[in-house]
Amino acid sequence: MFVVAPPRRISFSRLLLARLFSVTGCLLIATIVHAAEPSAGQRAAFKQAYAAAQQGGDGWRSLADGLHDYPLYPYLQAAALEHDIRQIDRAAVESYLKQYPGWIPADDLRHAFLLELARRQDWNNFLAMYQPGLGDALGCDALQARLAGGGTLDFDKDLASLWAKPNLPDACDAVLDAAHDQGLLTNARLWTRIDRAADAGRPDTIAKLVGWLPEDDRATAQRLVLALRDPAGALATAADWPDTSRNRQAATLALTRLARRQSASADTAWQQLQSHFSFSERQRGQILYALALFHATDFDDGALARLIALPAAMQTDVSREWRVRVALARQNWTEVLQAIEAMPASQQQDGEWQYFHARALTALGRGDEARRQLIAEAGKSTFYGFLAADKLGQPYAICPLTLADNPQREQALLANPALLRAFELYAVGLPKLARREWARALQDADQTTLQIASDLAHRRGWYDRAVFALSSGDALRLYNLRFPLANQDGVVPQARQAGIEPVWAYGIVRAESAWMDDARSGADARGLMQLVPATAALVAKRNGLDWGGGDTLYDPATNIALGTRYLAQMAERFNGSPWLASAAYNAGPNRVDQWLAARGTLTPDLFVATIPFKETREYVARVMAFSVIYDWRLHGSAVPLTTRMNAIGQPYGLPNASTVRRAVSCPAVEPASVPAAASSISNASP
């Protein structure tokens, strides 16, 4: 294991010597004095007082006796004030702001009170407390405050930057109404904003503007709204639209959006409409591009020919990669080679295309060329690097670094009040606030400082900081920080009880949440393994586990117990296969069944490359590569990636003592090439 050693204690005499011989040391020593680590009793008292403060009033004060020197004490009063925001006055808020200038809770309190003053339409106090740069909603409230005082609007000064945005908060509606009444929203300006909204896919923005257009223009704008909201419905009537510039715009929008959902239906509509409308060359290109691309994601017959036939000006990195994917699905190795070689040099250098270029060379009998390319790719600790190493039968290239001791920088960080607040907020279970304090404390930090801070967080069990902070250069090789072994959360025993590999469960956690135990997605997936409450409830019932509701998924132990069981369910459905089960975990098992029905004869590497969803395709690659890293971290070697990526339909057996394992080595590289060779596993997105 490559574990960072704990910091050495620094004696007083050593600090004295540093002061005598180093100006830097002198400056650092001056900052080293900091408060002792808060006690468990203080933290318990703070949690109790904070819960009371969130209910408003002054009841928290009696619970906070003895906490006046506790670093988070100001959060208590701010929480109570925010709860009572509709009852408090400006004096109470300004008193707090004066006492804690620059603090995050002070900023939040100012923001909340300004919103309340706007609700009250107390514009005099609002203007007295307003500061620019607090977001569009409060910016519009500030304009409304000026209007309430008899002021007027200047389009260029007050509205131009807002007008350029395709969507605005409701707080801006009154200001835009006033701008219209002043005659500032000319027809040209309205159409400029409509065009921006159309390009951004914002039909609601267009709908708000329709009533301000001249009567002759309203039907045209409504067609843009329909094209965005219901492209099939728009195309059903498009043959009756006059052939005008705006109607061609609406038809183009509808065709390109329908192609994404129903490529065959879009194709039929295109055949009917291309002679009705005098589409511009650019519009025809947009439509043909969308049809080619989404026929490709459906792997339709003729998709490859459509992509090849696209004009060079309409080609993008996405269309070029899909030309390769369609060729891979057909195992047309000549076309795979040609498609990759048609890419720009920068795109060809992607590890995926380097690997499949070598696969194509091998299939076409050019083994020596393929081997040279695989050797280069096998020097990287990536999904395709590991696959290349397996093809060659050589060790995996993993070059770990250990963070060097830097006690002076560490002590200086521990004297940073904002960073100490971040650590303390995390310790008392307020991770969202902790991340904000962390970001503020380290916003101008250099890479060395970020690495040391990440190590300090890691020692406190705050693992996600390293995942996000150590994202480039040599820092990628700090595997002990970027791929933590959080045994206290029960990953290993829970995975074994569920009948799955612990390293795979670790890989899922790392890919799903990057170790943010409070992660919550737009689909309401929660916690380390990102389970939706309804799914978690079913898993708990099926496995006889306790279920206390959706919020219990933020408890790591509960989340991992349920998440590993759900992983086991997915594995059971797909012959134990961890790579297919990973795809099902991300996209749903029914989707995977559809893909298997269409392309279930492909080898695993080709199947992954032809998964239609970019998110799922990259997710499977991430999880499987992470599993290799975690295998090495736990055992010093790794089960070959190709062993875990068993053939479709072939049962997968868990590794045992007789399973062949792949050694790990660090290839000799020139120092300048280390960052490139180590730009390995990308960070997950929570």
The packing angle between helices 417-427 and 431-441, to 10°, is 160
| Token couple for 590 | 């029914």
The residue type of 621 is A
The residue from 82, 512, 572, 615 that is catalytic is 512
Tell the residue number behind the tokens 């050495």, with chain if given: 8
What per-residue string of b and e applies to 453-468 under the rule 16 or more CB within 10 Å gives b? bbbbbbeeebbbbbbb
Residue 262 host element (H or E)? none
With contact defined as beta carbons under 8 Å apart, do 539 and 569 qualify? yes
By C-alpha distance, which of 616, 493, 503, 508 is closest to 561? Answer: 493
With contact defined as beta carbons under 8 Å apart, do 47 and 429 qualify? yes
Tell the residue number behind the tokens 């594995």, with chain if given: 571
Query: Coil, helix or strand for 471?
Result: coil
For 275-321, give the DSSP string.
Answer: TTS---HHHHHHHHHHHHHHHHHTT-TTHHHHHHHS-GGG--HHHHH
By C-alpha distance, which of 180, 172, 106, 109 is closest to 139? Answer: 172
By C-alpha distance, which of 579, 556, 587 is closest to 494? Answer: 556
Q: Is 512 a catalytic residue?
A: yes
Q: How does DSSP classify residue 499?
A: T
Q: By CB neighbour count within 10 A (0-12 exposed, 13-18 middle, 19+ buried), where does 442 fall?
A: buried
**Which neighbouring-strand residues pair with 638?**
662
* CA dihedral for 194, 196, 202, 205, sign (positive or negative): negative
For 425-452, give the DSSP string.
Answer: HHHTT-HHHHHHHHHHHTTT--HHHHHH
By C-alpha distance, which of 119, 43, 113, 114 is closest to 82? Answer: 113
| Token couple for 650 | 């072939």
By C-alpha distance, which of 458, 488, 454, 456 is closest to 472? Answer: 454
Q: Please give the Cα distance from 13 to 344 (Å, whole number).
A: 60
Q: Please give the Cα distance from 2 to 683 (Å, whole number).
A: 20
Task: Note the helical H segments in 35-159.
Answer: 40-53, 59-63, 73-83, 90-99, 104-120, 123-129, 136-148
Q: Please give the Cα distance from 549 to 117 (Å, whole number).
A: 37
With contact defined as beta carbons under 8 Å apart, do 6 and 459 qualify? yes
Longest dimension (CA), the chain: 89
Phi, psi (5° rounding) for residue 396? -75, 140
Q: Please give the Cα distance from 133 to 143 (Å, whole number).
A: 13
| Token couple for 10 | 């620094």
Phi, psi (5° rounding) for residue 664? -120, 135
Query: Coil, helix or strand for 658?
Result: coil
CA distances from 599 to 91, 513, 586 (A): 68, 30, 19
Write out the catalytic residue numbers: 512
